[in-house]
Amino acid sequence: MKFILTAGWDDGVADLTERLVHELADGRRVLWLVSGGSNVLASVHIMDSIPPKLSENLSIMLVDERYGEPGHADSNWAQLLQAGFKGDKATLLPALEEGLSFKRTIERYNQLATRALDDNEVVIAQLGIGDDGHLAGILPGSPAAVETDALVVGYKSDPYTRLTLTFAALRHITAAYAFAFGDNKRKALKILQRQSLPLGEQPAQILKQLPKAYLYSDQVGSSR
């Protein structure tokens, strides 16, 4: 895992864009796992930088979502689309479907993840890290932080009813690009950099188990 000290998003966005374009230009089928929150505008910029022709071999899915009807105000997918995200010729895989119960939505999301991971040769993840050390929808000590063979879990937490890929799903990632900026992230990032904790205590530790993981931050790391 590489910690990269940088003042803002530009370096990481450029690196992630370059990796996606490289894999697609080489004719590989790529699954791009995207995140909500502060990652949304970066995802819009990255998608706008991918030539439409190359996006034919690109599939896009969230690493986590908030349960509800499609388009609800807290939906990560809805916020992505509202920010101007355009899929071009990519295959879009939203987690929510109208009229489905929470249980059925979990099952559907799991089916989507299974097919997406099976059908694509390369998995590139764009992730955020919370000040509590969480990533995706895996909060420390939550049901999602328990090791499981399932690719998706759902659980209720304040203030959202969450759906998230699990550690089992994240272990399929070829390369992860994580972003964490702000003084409130310093403690969690220093722990991540200097200590090895159980995944249930600090879920972001999963990054150390991936083939390639890059963390861009203004708090820890080495300058280029």
How far apart (Å, rounded) are the C-alpha atoms in residues 204 and 197? 9
Give the CA count within 13 Å in the CB-facing half-sphere of 25: 8
> In this predicted model, what pLDDT tens digit does every residue of 50-96 receive, in sequence order?
999 999 999 999 999 999 999 999 999 999 999 999 988 999 999 99
pLDDT for 88: 82
DSSP one-letter code for 219: S
pLDDT for 163: 98
How far apart (Å, rounded) are the C-alpha atoms in residues 145 and 140? 6
Q: What is the mean pLDDT of residues 29-43?
A: 97
Q: What is the mean pLDDT of residues 196-213?
A: 97
pTM beyond 0.85: the answer is yes
Is residue 16 over pLDDT 90?
yes
Q: What is the mean pLDDT of residues 27-42?
A: 97
> In this predicted model, what pLDDT tens digit does every residue of 98-154 receive, in sequence order?
999 999 999 999 999 999 999 999 999 999 999 999 999 999 999 999 989 999 999
Is residue 223 over pLDDT 80?
no
Phi and psi at residue 150, in whole multiples of 5°? -65, 150
Q: What is the mean pLDDT of residues 181-189?
A: 96
pLDDT for 87: 86
pLDDT for 185: 96
pLDDT for 107: 97
Which CATH code for domain 2-217?
3.40.50.1360
pLDDT for 222: 78
Is residue 171 over pLDDT 70?
yes
Alpha helices in the chain (DSSP H): 10-25, 40-48, 76-82, 102-119, 167-170, 186-194
